[in-house]
Chain A
Amino acid sequence: QQQVKQSPQSLIVQKGGISIINCAYENTAFDYFPWYQQFPGKGPALLIAIRPDVSEKKEGRFTISFNKSAKQFSLHIMDSQPGDSATYFCAARPPSGNTPLVFGKGTRLSVIA
Chain B
Amino acid sequence: DTGVSQDPRHKITKRGQNVTFRCDPISEHNRLYWYRQTLGQGPEFLTYFQNEAQLEKSRLLSDRFSAERPKGSFSTLEIQRTEQGDSAMYLCASSPEVGQPQHFGDGTRLSIL
Contacts and interface: CB of A to CB of B under 8 A. Distances in A.
Chain A bound to chain B:
yes
Interface of A: 6, 32, 34, 36, 41-46, 49, 89, 91, 96-106
Interface of B: 4, 33, 35, 40-45, 48, 55-56, 91, 93, 98-107
B106 A100 contact: no
B33 A100 contact: yes
A73 to B, nearest CB: 15
Contacts of B35: 100
Given A42-B106, A43-B106, A97 B98 contact: yes
Contacts of B102: 46, 101
Given A41-B106, A43-B4, A99-B56, A49 B101 contact: yes
Given A91-B42, A103-B44, A105-B41, A97 B106 contact: no
